[in-house]
Structure 1
Amino acid sequence: MPTKPRLLFVITEDWYFVSHRLDLARAARDAGFQVGIATRVGACADRITAEGLELFPLRYMRRSSRNPWIELRAVHELSALYKRWRPDIAHHVAAKPVIYGGIAAQNARVPAVVNALAGLGFVFTSASREARALRPLVSRAYRIAMRHRRSRLIVQNTADEEVVLQRGLIAPSAVTRVAGSGIDVSVFQPSAETPGSPVIMLVARMLRDKGIYEFVEAARIARARGVSARFVLVGDTDLENPAAIARDQLERWSGQGDVEWWGYRADMAEVLRSSHVVCLPSYREGLPKVLLEAAAAGRPLIASDVPGCREIAIHNETGLLVPPRNATALADAMQTLASDSLLRRRLGQRARELVCSQFTVERVNAQTLQIYRELLSE
């Protein structure tokens, strides 16, 4: 019997794998791959192994670490895993796995590599002094990590593809655009709006770069204008991210009545059914899954006019676009949609149509499996 090709996902957190790559891993398993997951193990280990996937806990792959010794240990840990398990393809997801996994894969002579960047991350999106200082170093690290002769880089939007090519991170022939993680449109389905004041909802990790401060300020402006709406934040903070918003700040906003903070919710389809409008005033994205889920659920979108968001939030077609970091413009869009149920319905219907035609999980999985097959055949 022919040996199944081995596919190893490398990703920093098990919860992110379950949220964004589990459907792809199932598809690969069903297509005849032996699938392994290398990640930091938290609360999702049983869910991963229940799918018949091999789980390899990582000790040193830490998103927030700046310790050179730990970073070297992370590369060594991956090299040892690659030499032991001998994957035919290593699929690295996000910045650190791409850089460290790419170096380790070359050292361990992994036959083929897929690197996936869900946006270009803090270093390329932030205007902070730290981000600007790190940008040339990270660009050079990407070039080194992605020089494997049998590799593909997956990006999620045209703007990120342009940045990657302009910076010379990889050859144009090795870049492929795939639209996010895909959405199961049978889970996220349209529903009637709930009665009462419109709920304008922002679902994300509670990070400054997601536009949380602008959302809160826009809610204050809209409320001062007499807009009758509820403004809701859904998601937990992320203390390993430099842009994290402190929990006491979120609790203070909620206690003052500026917004409601619902914290982390796993039942996203149910959460979106309680919304009327879904908002993401982020500074930059890859292709935000929450906007795709909201669109599949037939909800109109408000988003920043930035890479990633504008792929799904098309102005006056599926939602409203506003300039980034502009609370007044955001409040204007909130006011428009809060006061016009017919507009909400029209935008939501078109948003659902767009997701069903371009962003389904079946479409994304098929594109990614084709990349695997092409690499194996080279």
Structure 2
Amino acid sequence: MTERLLFVVNSPQFFLSHRLPIAMAAREEGYEVHVATARGGGCPTIESHGFVHHELPLSRSGRNLVNELRSFLALIQLFRRVRPSIVHLVTIKPVLYGGVAAQLTRVPAMVAAISGLGSVFVERSDSARLGLTRHLVQGAYRLALRHRNSAVIFQNPADRAALFSISAVRGGQDRLIRGSGVDLASCTYLEEPEGVPVVTMAARLLRDKGVWEFVQAARLLRERGLSCEFRLIGAPDPGNPTTITREELEAWREEGIVGLLGYREDVAAQYVASHVICLPSYREGLPKSLVEAAACGRAVVTTDVPGCRDAIEPDVSGLLVPPRDSLALADAIEELLVDPERRRAMGAAGRRLAEREFAIEQIVAGHLAIYEELHLNVG
């Protein structure tokens, strides 16, 4: 009987950008591949690749209990209808809801991909409300990851340690795969362009990504009279409570402090046209944007937080700064802009790091090995 692999991901765009090569390789290995996501513009593209697509009522926020129950029940119904041999759960809600649903419906094997632990692990407030939310989320992880034949994939050691510390993961269940990989052939490694140095940030436009600090760093360097150009790639995420608003973007546009490029699919080309890549995020799994920056041979300035620090070699391929510190961010960017020789050496080191650790072939092989291991456990 053909083994059936079902991916459950919050959005079709995330599946296409972060899991498509794995799904295609699994199909080559003989799996019948299904993909379940919320509604979105990428759904026809998923189907065009020959995968069976299922639409789920997954909302971005978790504030409406009726909607959350509806999402959970839809997953149970989907698992009973598709009868997958393996479910591969990606992003927070699919992991939490799908993990429980997989146990209730007796799915033979489960893979949970932890690509970040969510805002409750980032917020520093000691409010009672946040404390209760964090307690509930921790309990949900413990419940969701109890599947007897499962693997939990982490992208960085800090996230793994966090879930071990709350007894959500048992020994032997964890795997460490550094990110979603990068196609080295599509990330061209070229010499830096001539002209005014360009500093680029590509991310969802959220406060948690450090967008405010990036803009403030641009202001500080303008005040210092440094000749450079800041570019911001990405779009707001209205379903996320920390999104940058349209009004804020319009104010920045009028100020002229950063170039707002919006959502782009040619991020690698934008990196090649840049001199320094920046991501001042508060916490990540292992950001694909920094992996692509390394592959393009560009020096990086990012924050000393889980995920970000794991995507570079500190002081070799990039610089680390404290999170939420626009002054330190501006200082580090300036350090690289005024020292082209060091900057280019860091870019070359980044490319070597990408070739050694982040090649998509290596990432795909790691996932296929986990599928095979779980399949043998069923047998």
Report TM bin, short chain: over 0.9
Q: Which runs of 4+ in 1 moved over 6 A?
A: none
Q: Deviations for 1:166-219, whole angstroms, at most 9, x for unmatched residues?
A: 111110211111111111000012112222111101110000011111111111
Of 83, 86, 99, the match for 2:83? 86
CA distance in 2, matches of 1:126, 1:154: 23
Structure-to-structure mapping, 1:102-251, within 5 angstroms: 102-128=99-125, 129=127, 131-251=130-250
Partner residue, 1:293: 292
Is 1:370 matched with 2:373?
no
Contact 2:5/2:87 (<8 A) preserved: yes
Q: Deviations for 1:236-286, whole angstroms, at most 9, x for unmatched residues?
A: 010111110102201211210221111111111221121111000111111
Where 1:71 maps in the other structure, the secondary structure is helix
CA distance in 2, matches of 1:164, 1:41: 30
Where 1:172 maps in the other structure, the secondary structure is coil
CA distance in 1, matches of 2:131, 2:25: 39
Partner residue, 2:4: 6
Equivalent AA in structure 1 for residue 33 of structure 2: V
Contact 1:164/1:170 (<8 A) preserved: yes
1:131 CA displacement: 4.1
1:65 CA displacement: 3.4
Q: Deviations for 1:286-335, whole angstroms, at most 9, x for unmatched residues?
A: 10000000110000000001111111222220011111111111111111
CA distance in 1, matches of 2:213, 2:267: 23
Partner residue, 1:19: 17
Contact 1:312/1:318 (<8 A) preserved: no
1:147 CA displacement: 0.7
Give the paired residue count.
375
Equivalent AA in structure 2 for residue 114 of structure 1: V
Please report the RMSD computed on the Cα atoms of aligned residues, expressed in angstroms: 1.1
CA distance in 2, matches of 1:208, 1:102: 29
Structure 1: gaps spanning 5 or more residues: none
Partner residue, 1:47: 45
Equivalent AA in structure 1 for residue 162 of structure 2: V
Structure 2: gaps spanning 5 or more residues: none
CA distance in 2, matches of 1:334, 1:299: 13
TM-score by length of 1: 0.97
Q: 1:131 to 1:266 in 2, by over 3 A?
A: farther
Equivalent AA in structure 1 for residue 281 of structure 2: S
1:230 CA displacement: 0.5
1:63 CA displacement: 1.9
Partner residue, 1:29: 27
Partner residue, 2:251: 252
Partner residue, 2:305: 306
Contact 1:203/1:280 (<8 A) preserved: yes
Contact 2:301/2:332 (<8 A) preserved: yes
Partner residue, 1:65: 62
CA distance in 2, matches of 1:144, 1:342: 51
* Percent identity for Structure 1 against Structure 2: 46
Where 1:262 maps in the other structure, the secondary structure is strand
